[in-house]
Amino acid sequence: MSTGEAGHTGPVLGIESTAHTASVGIVEDGARVLGLASDMYRPPAGGIHPREAANHHVELLPRLVRQALDAAHVDPAEIEAVAFAQGPGLGPCLRAGATVARMLSLAWSKPLVPVNHCVAHVEIARVLSGLEDPLLLYASGGNTQVIAYGRGRYRVLGETLDIGIGNFLDKLWIELGGTFPGGPALELEARQGSELVELPYSVHGMDVAFSGMLTAAITYHRRGVARPDLAYSVESTAYAMLTEITERALAHRRRDAVVLGGGVACNERLRTMVRTMVEERGGTMFAPPRAMCVDNGAMIAWTGRMAHRAGVSVPVESSAVEPRQRTDLVPTPWRAG
């Protein structure tokens, strides 16, 4: 990784392909999104198969690059750098995005900037909120983490010990007879529910676990508990768990601001529960618009822009993806000082 001069400045193009979403964003100063083109892989049945999702990305990304450039009215010559999500994520999906980013970087002679996907969720929420140093509740398909900045890195204060909250909701919904993605469908179903059935509430310090709740919910379903009541109970329990660990992290880190990120952060109930908790403590909660909560190329471009201005870039030869990249191992020189 080099830390030389940023050189030419202009809009940054960012590519996101960590999981089911292929997305290209073009962003300039102030996180103004000039162009954003996304397409989500939707498996015909069951969950995401990494290879099939990657094939989808390979097929769609060239077109998404074109669409984003057209929407932005930007010529490749004006682009400052090409950023890509280096990890964490599904290997084949990450490689699809990274390959496109490397080719654009070579073809356009632009610096290549690796970006950590989780850090990008924090950074887009941070700039949109105007909050200086908020804590992030990142609730997505594969990730469930409470993240805060401290001593030069973003630190994971708490996280899921088994599956991500979104994967849990998706798996459950498929068991209940639905199709991927489950979160939005469960949200609608839960609005019709009112009976609370008791589910495993699994909080361990600032960590959570969902597999026990998944098993219990499937068992209730087989015993004939109505789907709306089950959805209502699952949302109540799972989101209370997330709210609790967020509150614990706020207290321990002496913070008063929370931002949300990840697809599950689209959920109204979760937003309300976290907002209520934060405001009762006299703090501030910010939930970005849904297009900026879900995986998107704009957050990669924005974070890549800050990283590049702080001197970060990698040669193509050493730009390997890192499917298990840890949030707290990624340098964030733009936050120094």
Give the phi and the psi of residue 232 in degrees, each rounded to 5. Answer: -60, -45
Nearer to Mg ion, 247 or 295 (CB): 295
The residues that touch ligand AMP, with contacts defined as CB under 6 A, are: 19, 21, 140-141, 166, 169-170, 181-184, 187, 262-264, 266-267, 294-295
Q: Which of ligand AMP, Mg ion, none does 158 bind, CB closer than 5 to 8 A by kind?
A: none
Q: Which of ligand AMP, Mg ion, none does 181 bind, CB closer than 5 to 8 A by kind?
A: ligand AMP
Compute CA 100 distance to the chain's CA centroid, rounded to the nearest angstrom.
20
CA-to-CA distance for 187 and 267, rounded, in angstroms?
Answer: 7
The residues that touch Mg ion, with contacts defined as CB under 5 A, are: 140, 295
Minimal distance in Å, beta carbon 197 to ligand AMP?
Answer: 19
Nearer to ligand AMP, 80 or 295 (CB): 295
Among 332, 273, 325, 334, CA closest to 143: 325
- What pairing do the DSSP bridges indicate for beta strands 203-204 and 284-286? unpaired
CB burial of 175-214 (b: ≥16 within 10 Å; e: otherwise) equals: ebeeebbbbebbbebbeebeeebebeebeeebbbbbeebb
Minimal distance in Å, beta carbon 139 to ligand AMP?
Answer: 8
Minimal distance in Å, beta carbon 129 to ligand AMP?
Answer: 18
Among 137, 16, 121, CA closest to 65: 16
Q: Which of ligand AMP, Mg ion, none does 236 bind, CB closer than 5 to 8 A by kind?
A: none
Minimal distance in Å, beta carbon 185 to ligand AMP?
Answer: 8
Q: Which of Mg ion, ligand AMP, none does 260 bind, CB closer than 5 to 8 A by kind?
A: none
Q: What is the CA radius of gyration of the chain?
A: 20
CA-to-CA distance for 41 and 54, rounded, in angstroms?
Answer: 9
Q: Which of Mg ion, ligand AMP, none does 92 bind, CB closer than 5 to 8 A by kind?
A: none
Minimal distance in Å, beta carbon 113 to Mg ion?
Answer: 18
